[in-house]
Structure 1
Amino acid sequence: MSTEDKLSLKEQGALVIDAGLCAIPVVGGSLSALYFGAKQEKRFKRLERFYNELKDKLQEPSAIDFDKIDRSALASIIEEINEAVELDFTESKLDYLHNCFINSLSEGAEQEHEKKKYFISQLMKMSELDISLLTGLYKADSGECYKYLKSDEPDASDFNAALERLKSGGLVNSSLHGALTPGISWGEITAFTLSDFGRDFVVFCLEQRSQ
């Protein structure tokens, strides 16, 4: 069997589920049809809505010279977007996925496509707080940063955890910004700033380029 003929893990999983449902006596076949029918219908509806709303944002067809771009790279970015749409999305993330699609159509956007695909996967994992912190740093004046909130401040644990998530994803940098004294944690004297990687994420996912 050639590489092209091999089933993906997703396809293998679907076959296992289908076989399991069909094995249920009497009603198995009906359950399988119901499960996969509803599942595909939801995914189709999400994609349909995504593209219906996207076309309203595209003022005019983007002038892409397909002879000068890496088509397979562009296709892999769009496939990542489609998979994200199919899985699920919040209202705000639908807009961000529109941004990703539109920004993918600009000249040279298919370059570094693996990074762009990573950005999309990270976007789908982010909370509204994560996104708010990134956009805040992106719009901040040079030298501004975030620091840990003290444990007795409202929502401190959520805020501090969000900073650490963004740091682990490479989207923000951290550096020592103060003296370590008794009673002060490392987080309170650590400055979190937007990394170049994080800036690229904001530009690709959160900012829509003009048509």
Structure 2
Amino acid sequence: MQKNIRIAPSILSADFAALGQEVRAITEAGADYVHVDVMDGHFVPNITIGPDVVKALRPHSERTFDVHLMISPVDPYIEGFAKAGADIITVHPEAGPHVHRTLQLIKSFGKKAGVSINPGTPLAPVKPLMEEVDLILVMSVNPGFGGQAFIPESLRKLESLRRMIDDSGRDIDLEVDGGINRETAPQAIAAGADVLVAGSATFKGGPEAYAENIRALRGHAG
């Protein structure tokens, strides 16, 4: 098992009528990151939130705000999310003409930069970016909606990326998002993931269950 497994609840599964309370609740329950899924209805088939919501949520938690931009074109929105309080900004190679430039733009605002790989995206685009990224996100479902089933082939990608990261000698988070629950979390961890994004599995049962849900995903429920 990888050391220092971090849990990043996706607020896509939170109660949107009480997002500030929900962010405080998962923080108190032991979440390591707050995962924010940003969708534009164009790059992925759903629409979620913008920088103003991130800005409004920022005072509710000191945890790392892990912002995943599923929008295209992505470059015009980097500054807005950076100034709103994102700590990590993750983009897709397909979301702009020059992903290397996009990663440099993220870093120009003092933020950590991530790259996300969809189920249908090969690993080849990641190799030239290893010196620029702080996080690699493997989508284990097709992005756009929460509550989807885990795609088992994602485990092979995690294993390959874990080797690439270890060979690079750099401190890069290996994150997985999609269908993560008490059954799939141990598989993802065994394959090399050290950050688990979990929406439904974190928020089920209401606030009184959040701490137990997070402990279970991390691997030491009780």
* TM bucket normalised to smaller: under 0.3
Question: TM-score when scaled to structure 1?
Answer: 0.24
Structure with the larger strand share: 2
Structure with the larger helix share: 1
